[in-house]
A and B are shown apart, each in its own frame.
Chain A
Amino acid sequence: METRQETYFEEFEVFSRKTQTSPVQYHFSLLAPNEDIAIMMAQENFMRREAVDDIWVVKRQNIRKMTVEEKKTLQRIDNKDYRTTKGYGYLKKKWRKYEQEMLDEKEIMSWAGGVKNGE
């Protein structure tokens, strides 16, 4: 049998982030001899028509994915309101009785811009 020179490149998975605050998103895989070349291929292969703020390339062998069996461990019963604000919605009514606004997610997240002092 003919022995062929091994010229197979490595597999890299490509991720990107649209803006500085957006989560990293998976795109696709590509073949490249090494990570420097992989990162040079990434944008033009998968993000030719979109703006990106950052790109990650990861050798595929360094990514541990779940098996079909493992994916079964991701299932949950829909009874965990106690973990979310949904389980505490009744507080809104309670506070109203004391003439207070509910400090809900919208209110709390709005503090990012500073809280206006007041009584």
Chain B
Amino acid sequence: MNVLLNDMAEHEKLDQFIARIKAGEKIEADDWMPEDYRGTLIKLISMHGISEIMGALPEKEWVPKAPTLNRKLGIMAKVQDEMGHGQLLLRVAEDLLKPYNKKRDDLMQDLFTGDLKFHNVFHMESKSWGDAGLIGWLVDGAAIISQTNMLGASYGPYARALHRICAEEVFHAQHGEAIIMALAEGTEEQRKMVQDSIDYWWESLLLFFGPPSKNEVGSSKQDVTIKYRIRTSTNEELRQAFFSKYVKRILSLGYTIPDETLRFDKDTETWIYQQPDWGKLKIIARNEGPRSQQRLNLRRISYENNKWVREALAPKVI
């Protein structure tokens, strides 16, 4: 049945492909797609997936320490979801990698060698229980803004994974809010925990959305992802959305944001803010962030230590 498609010239396939995504159709794993599209998806989704896996670690550090039975349960469920999101996304990436004969093990190796990057926020320290709350509240808040932006992605499997993920992110955000709220309404020490966390994480939150253009770090994937209808908004639009949703909530709890220049400009209807140090993204991309090596090492140890389990159960090659 593929005879028809095989006979088509490459440019005809491309035209048909572009027409399909323009018409809002979803592309599936086995469908023909331009290499550029596949490559973009692989980069995006494998990074997204491995970031979820690495992103479980900063919070996992606080699972055993969570201060009540209920908080212990909540944060366990949250870390579980992060791993679950990693599972969904890596499955999507693995299917895209089939033509290159790459599998999950290869993705793990890419992570260890530094070829596969993970999001900047997960290279940071989580120093206190306040950080555990802030990650749920603001880091997940930022992630929700960036992920909902891709819910309509032209690649069907990614869109379906994101639907599952975003539904659970709502729980994450509320889990984070609940921790923060208890601290914000608590003792002086507890209140201070939150302010310290905001001060520590603010720059990372701005970096999270990526540079406004390729001028800042030398490259940006945003144009091609918009062209292929994987996402709709630019990095800057997403960062602005984050300000719009979260600045007033942070201030309403009586906290300050470590940027005296931050203000909403009514004329241009945009937030004016102090640019973060974009150079830090490059440092983190080299896995030289505050906790990059320690977390990679943790992942590496667990992967190596459990190799015998995967070997023992691997289906016998006939």
Contact = CB atoms under 8 A, between A and B. Distances in A.
A and B, direct touch (CB closer than 8 Å): yes
Interface of A: 4-10, 28-31, 33-34, 37, 45-46, 48-49, 65, 67-70
Contacts of B32: 68
Contacts of B311: 5, 7
B103 interface: yes
Given A7-B311, A48-B84, A69 B4 contact: yes
A95 B57 CA distance: 70
A45 B310 contact: no
Contacts of A70: 1
A7 B105 CA distance: 8
A31 B310 contact: no
A8 B87 contact: no
A68 B104 contact: no
B43 interface: no
B50 to A, nearest CB: 15
Contact of A9 (B28, B30, B307, B310): B310
6 contacts: A7-B311, A8-B105, A31-B104, A48-B84, A67-B30, A70-B1
Given A4-B105, A30-B87, A45-B87, A10 B315 contact: yes
A5 B307 CA distance: 10
Contacts, number: 58
Contact of B1 (A8, A48, A69): A69
A10 B88 CA distance: 15
Nearest to A10: B315
Interface string B2-40: 101100000000000000000000001011100000000
Closest 5 CB pairs of A and B: A33-B313, A7-B310, A7-B314, A69-B1, A8-B103
Contacts of B105: 4, 7-8
B295 interface: no
Nearest to B6: A69
A48 B164 CA distance: 12
B314 A31 contact: no
Interface string B258-301: 00000000000000000000000000000000000000000000
Interface of B is mostly: helix
Contacts of A4: 105
Contacts of A49: 168
A9 B314 contact: yes
B48 interface: no
Q: Which of A31, A34, A37 has the most CB of B within 10 A?
A: A31
A50 B206 CA distance: 35
A2 to B, nearest CB: 11
Nearest to B91: A29
B314 A33 contact: yes
A29 B96 CA distance: 14
A37 B91 contact: no
Contact of B307 (A7, A30, A37): A7
Contact of A28 (B91, B104, B307): B91
Interface string B85-116: 00110010001000000011100000000000
A9 B94 CA distance: 12
B31 A8 contact: no
B162 to A, nearest CB: 12
A68 B31 contact: yes
Given A9-B314, A33-B310, A67-B5, 10 more contacts: A7-B314, A9-B310, A9-B313, A33-B313, A33-B315, A45-B87, A46-B164, A67-B30, A68-B32, A69-B4
A70 B203 CA distance: 51
B317 interface: yes
Q: Which of A8, A37, A46 has the most CB of B within 10 A?
A: A8
A27 to B, nearest CB: 9
Nearest to B95: A29
A7 B303 CA distance: 12
A8 B104 contact: yes
Q: Which of B32, B311, B315 has the most CB of A within 10 A?
A: B315
A37 B2 contact: no
